[in-house]
Structure 1
Amino acid sequence: MFGVFAFLYKSKLNQLEINQTAILQENNLTQQKNNLTTELDQVKKINQELQTEKKNLTEQIESMKKTWNEQNVSRAQWSLDEYCRKDRNRQCNSCQKDWLQSQSSCYVVNDAEPKNQKTWEEARETCREKSSDLAVVGNEVEKTFLKEKSWVNSNINGYWIGLGAEGGRWKWIDGSDLTNQAWIQQQNATDGQCVTSLQNREWTSVSCTERNAWICEKKALTV
């Protein structure tokens, strides 16, 4: 009799343990479900934020494209007006108004008064604002042209060109070396020195921080 009671008690205990395990498993599943639901809600929220951000970026890009296109049209019109006369029979020139052509380049001589003269770096930046750079000389013809246009003025000591000392060598702003040392009075290149041109003399090396006039160069337009 005692054996039967013990068996029934043990069976009941096992059933309780099974039920308890099932309850724990169900609770775990419920918790996992709740966690997944929370994660899903977070993913949905992030996705919505990303969609909103994508929409905003798309609108910004479209706005930038529109502005860019308008600017390109404006630049194209400006270039056309700069190179081509505004009349019924519009005629275009290789260089803009006030620019001088020699071979395949256009030059503008900035014979500024002392108060408006610039250091070598400042002069170069001014040229860049005009889609050009300080003049680079590649041959005797160009050198002669540049020298003739370096007009003498009592207020001007020289015109900056795109030549300066770098690492003990004379270098052009395009990275090439000065090949004809006879073109410059001071043949020893000292860092911090840049070169000026002036009529009736060879090129002269002075401190790049001095203020001078300057000459810009850009490629001529093919018309």
Structure 2
Amino acid sequence: YTESQIKQSKMEMSEYIYGNVDIILDENRNRRAESENDHIYDDPHMSQDSGGNIWEEVPSMGRPGVDSSGMDISGRRSSRQATVCWVLLCVLLLNMTKEKNQLKTSYTNLIKERDQLETSYNNLTKERNQIKRERDELQKIFSAFKQAGTEGWTPFQSSWYYISSEVKSWEHSRQDCMNRGADLVIINNIREQTFLTKLKKSLWIGLTDKDIEGTWKWVDGTPLTTAYWMTKQPDNFKEEEHCGEIHNNNNVLNWNDMLCATKLNWICEQET
């Protein structure tokens, strides 16, 4: 070939390549794919399914998660994990059962304590109401005596005293005191005896030996222990004097036994 012919040939080939570049590229792709398929078919670990999909067959020996016998190790691991979880769940349920029983016992004890507290509260309420009733009654009595103070009652120490303005026998005098919610005076100490002496009246007091001669007792049944008899008294004159009086004089030793039918003033006592 001449030089001009060679140039002409190169130009024609260039035009051909330029005009058929897509066809040439497609042919190169096909040849490359066929070469890769031939390589896969020659590899015993590579396979292709009916859909043209290529996948690798790796022997079980040495594959991660598979032991020498071909059993999946991950399956064993999952089984052990499930067993551990089951044991932990059982332990948890056991602890919850114990706690439930403890809570049940505590609840029962609290119920008992509540019932005991409720019983105690009810008892205290009853006692409070009883004390309140007694207080109200005492207030009524006190109010009555305060009002009676302007009607002949005189306070001294822890008692109220009523001094009569008329005279009666010992028996009738005592009955008048009882009608007033009181009784003939019982003298307990020298201060009370001095208070009564300063009244400067002959007065029936709550002392008698009508049951047994010479055995003097107060109207509440208690025996006489401290006495303020006048000299040579009691003398039971004519064996008829069985009631005690305070005789009108300035000496604190002013008790005398008298005929109970004698009419004298009297003094009633009501303890507050």
TM norm structure 2 = 0.41
Query: Looking at CA atoms only, which structure, 1 or 2, has the larger radius of gyration?
Result: 2
TM norm structure 1 = 0.49
